[in-house]
A and B are shown apart, each in its own frame.
Chain A
Amino acid sequence: MMSQQTRRTALTLLLLLLFPVSTLAQSALQRVRQSGELRIGTDATYPPFESVEGNEFSGFDIDLGNAIARELGVKARFINASFDGIFPALQNGTFDAVMSSVTITPERSASMLFSDPYYDSGQLICVRRESEGINAPDDLKGKTVGVQINTTAQYDLEKREGVTVAKYNTIDLALLDLQNNRIDAVVGDAPVLKYMIFKSFRELKTVGHRFTDEKFGIAFAQGSEDLVREVNTALKKIKETGEYDQIHEKWFGEAAERAAEQEASKTKPKTVDFNLARRLLPLFLSGILLTAQLALISLALGLPIGLLLALMRVQSSRLIAAPAALYVEVVRGTPLLVQILFIYFVLPYFHIYIPAKTSGVIALTLNCAAYISEIFRAGILSIDVGQMEAARSLGMSYSQAMRRIILPQTFRRVVPPLTNEGIALLKDSSLVSVIGLTELARTGQELASRYAAPLTIWPMVAIFYLLLTFPLTRVAEYLERRWKTVTRS
């Protein structure tokens, strides 16, 4: 998908840019009361705390969030967001709170508000069943250890000397890599590791004890003090009435563990589980639709914009050509990921609020227009100058010659590279998951975590992408066939 490096640099940059935005969030409680809903951001790839199947969220955080919202007299609405984009989204007001197994740290407390802790967790080490010699954090020296990106596990390990940290988008990918012998251990939140091992990583085991004491809290944007106060009151009440214990028992209690164990022993986890695949098939539908939609709309808008840019660039007037050249230079020279983040997270700073899907379409459109314009430009330049001269000598104006003679020939030539661009766009559209759009790749990510079945899910994702590219290829083939007579000359 993208290099972690790019992703991290981009986010650091954005967080810096976004810092002043937090002052915009005002009277959070009023807003929540007025709208009647508490919007909670969550990265639903982290069972048993939070996971999603279709539109159904479930997990400890989800049950607790619902209870809190009920106490506030509103409804909870969960919004799925990738963990590495979740805090910027909180800052710019996409949701009122984040409940996503967020550990309260001094660094995070500097830029956000936290509720009272609602869950005591800690980091645990996980290794392959047969491995020996790693029992405590100190044993990790000289080893390669997998973590989920931007988690407290990562921060902790980075402070330890001699540990090589490998960062993964989701915890199940880290565990898969461990199982595949590529890394020596995985560090993560104890309950999550236990759940994952039960679910499908039977060749792994946890060792030692929790070596950190971490408290999960609900995160809020700065300026939401009144909302935090209310939430704390609600949390206190839920604990006093015993409801908290019930929820805890449901997800982490002995009973839950036994049930999980029983279920697990009944059905030995398979690497590739066809039954699961069949069952999950319909859950991909909305992701597939979103990906197709994003790619098609962006391509449809990017084509005319790209053509316009190309026509500007081939003008002899610098006044017309230079802006187009600059546009292409800038857009092509910056990562699509940063462009997506910019439109969604930075523009609100200038009081421009664009919904996630529209932001995604705009970013993809502007990005592909730059590449498409270069394809068109190359196509136009590849037409022999004699064609323009012949057209002009017959009395056609420049625009007539362009429209009637040059462009029709250009279109015939650029079909293959445009097809390439369309397919690339289809796959690049997966980047919009950072702004919380659950497109195809993100759907895969969520389901892979939820069912701890990356080896079943990712091949499905690949096949869906392949199927999506088919219509594009067919259209291209049709056009090429239709224009075949004239391409050779």
Chain B
Amino acid sequence: MLRRTRVKLQDTVSSWILKLNQEQDVIEVTDIVKRYGSNTVLNHATFQIQTGQLTTILGPSGCGKSTMLRCMNRLERFDRGRLKIGDVEVSGTEDKKLTPAEEKELTRRLRERVGIIFQNFNLFPHLTALGNCMEAPMTVKGMQRKEAEDVARHYLHKVGLADKEEHYPAQLSGGQQQRVAIARALAMEPEVILFDEPTSALDPQLIQSVARMLRALDDLGKTLVVVSHDMNFARRISDQVIYFEGGHAVEAGTPQEVFGNPQKAETRAFMQSFQEDEPLADAQPNADKLQSNALETNLGTRDNLGQEE
């Protein structure tokens, strides 16, 4: 029964991919190298992501996937290679020297297009949910308070937190905090949203609502890049899966391709180790079933990106 649900899900997903494949690449990562001293974190990483796709970068911990994500928002700089997001092109620091002014301008343009949701959300604890979403539109875009409030309200409503506007982060649950973080990123209207391990800081029961939200964001036309080590989650939500190991993309393809018929030995080894862990992951089979069903039934309705937990 579980299996059948998944197959059904995958069918749905593949039909979308067919549709999306016609679109252009929005993110191109070419030969990126990053070292911390003698430790090479990114080792000639190369991959492409198309507009509107939901891509999961999957891999064991320490494989460099989070660093890759941080490079895409310029929270980290890389030494060599090239990153292209839309019309913004970034080169490795060893390839091209930038003046501080150029660096500032480049970072500004990049961050205008790319938002990020951190693993632990990093909400501003001294501001309410509304304040969290208003801050950047006001300081960065120079919006008036009233206008920023409207924008913030709009997106908080979208993530289903209209009634939590005046709550401080400390008064919100983990899942609610994550949705504030999403609304905060959306308020800046980025084309690309990066998610760093969106499920790891949450209770397993919340995973389905995260999946639902990601799919809904995808439907808004956003390009999503999700870093995760959770194979089940990746299989469930992705248009494209990139398997990362040793600082580079080992294999990329649809979930069926990567999970069903992995081409590389590293990918197979990871899948195998994952299967050994399967009993553990199935420790809450009911929740899993529930999530799959809920995900399926919720794919069509998207007035709200999320629902009350």
Contacts and interface: CB of A to CB of B under 8 A. Distances in A.
A394 B185 CA distance: 7
Nearest to A398: B104
B115 interface: yes
B270 interface: no
A387 B126 CA distance: 11
Contacts of B108: 395
B112 interface: yes
B169 interface: yes
A489 B125 contact: yes
Contacts of A390: 118, 122-124
B184 A394 contact: yes
A165 B199 CA distance: 74
Task: From B111, B123, B124, B168, name the one whose CB has the most chain A CB atoms within 10 angstroms.
Answer: B124
A123 to B, nearest CB: 66
A390 B124 CA distance: 8
A393 interface: yes
B170 interface: yes
B122 A384 contact: yes
B49 interface: no
A242 interface: no
A408 interface: yes
Nearest to A389: B75
Interface residues of B, number: 26
A386 B122 contact: yes
A404 B120 CA distance: 20
A412 B185 contact: no
B136 A395 contact: yes
B140 A486 contact: no
A486 B136 contact: no
B73 interface: yes
Interface residues of A, number: 23
Contacts of B125: 409, 486, 489
B188 interface: yes
A470 B141 CA distance: 44
Nearest to A485: B168
A405 interface: yes
A488 B170 CA distance: 7
Interface string B107-123: 01001100110101011
A250 interface: no
A414 to B, nearest CB: 13
Contacts of B169: 489
B109 to A, nearest CB: 10
A400 interface: yes
A486 B122 contact: no
A485 B170 contact: yes
A400 B170 contact: no
Contacts of A387: 122, 124
Nearest to B137: A394
A397 B140 CA distance: 8
B174 to A, nearest CB: 12
Contacts of B136: 391, 394-396
A396 B139 contact: yes
Nearest to A383: B125
Contacts, number: 66
B111 A395 contact: yes
A390 B177 CA distance: 14
B186 to A, nearest CB: 11
Contacts of B171: 485
B297 to A, nearest CB: 34
Contacts of B124: 387, 390-391, 405, 409
A400 B171 CA distance: 26
A210 interface: no
Among B104, B116, B122, B126, chain A packs the most CB atoms within 10 A around the CB of B126
Interface in B127-166: 135-136, 139-140
B118 A394 contact: no
A394 B112 CA distance: 8
Nearest to A412: B126
Contact of B118 (A389, A483, A486, A489): A389
Contacts of A400: 139-140
Contact of B170 (A395, A404, A486): A486
Nearest to A385: B122
Contact of A393 (B104, B111, B139, B170): B111
B140 A392 contact: no
A396 B120 contact: no
A109 B168 CA distance: 73
A477 to B, nearest CB: 19
B130 to A, nearest CB: 14
Interface in A400-414: 400, 404-405, 408-409, 412
Contacts of B140: 394-396, 400
Contacts of A404: 135, 139
B122 A389 contact: yes
A485 B171 CA distance: 9
Interface in A122-158: none
A393 B115 contact: yes
A473 B106 CA distance: 48
Nearest to B169: A489
A394 B126 contact: no
Nearest to A386: B122
A397 B135 CA distance: 13
B128 to A, nearest CB: 9
Interface string A474-489: 0000000001011011
A254 to B, nearest CB: 76
Nearest to B136: A394
B122 A394 contact: no
A103 B116 CA distance: 79
A392 B75 contact: yes
A395 B122 contact: no
Contacts of A386: 118, 120, 122
A485 B169 CA distance: 10
Nearest to B135: A404
B168 A393 contact: no
Nearest to B194: A393
Interface string A451-489: 000000000000000000000000000000001011011
Nearest to A394: B136
Interface string A293-310: 000000000000000000
Interface of A: 384, 386-387, 389-397, 400, 404-405, 408-409, 412, 483, 485-486, 488-489
Interface of B: 73, 75, 104, 108, 111-112, 115-116, 118, 120, 122-126, 135-136, 139-140, 168-171, 184-185, 188
Given A394-B115, A395-B112, 16 more contacts: A387-B122, A389-B118, A389-B122, A390-B123, A393-B75, A394-B188, A395-B111, A395-B188, A396-B135, A397-B104, A409-B125, A412-B126, A485-B168, A486-B126, A486-B168, A489-B169
Sorted nearest first, the 6 A-B pairs with minimum C-beta distance are A489-B125, A390-B122, A394-B136, A386-B122, A489-B170, A395-B140
23 contacts: A386-B122, A389-B122, A390-B118, A390-B122, A391-B124, A391-B136, A392-B75, A393-B73, A393-B75, A393-B115, A393-B116, A394-B184, A394-B188, A395-B140, A395-B188, A404-B139, A405-B124, A408-B126, A485-B168, A486-B170, A488-B170, A489-B125, A489-B169
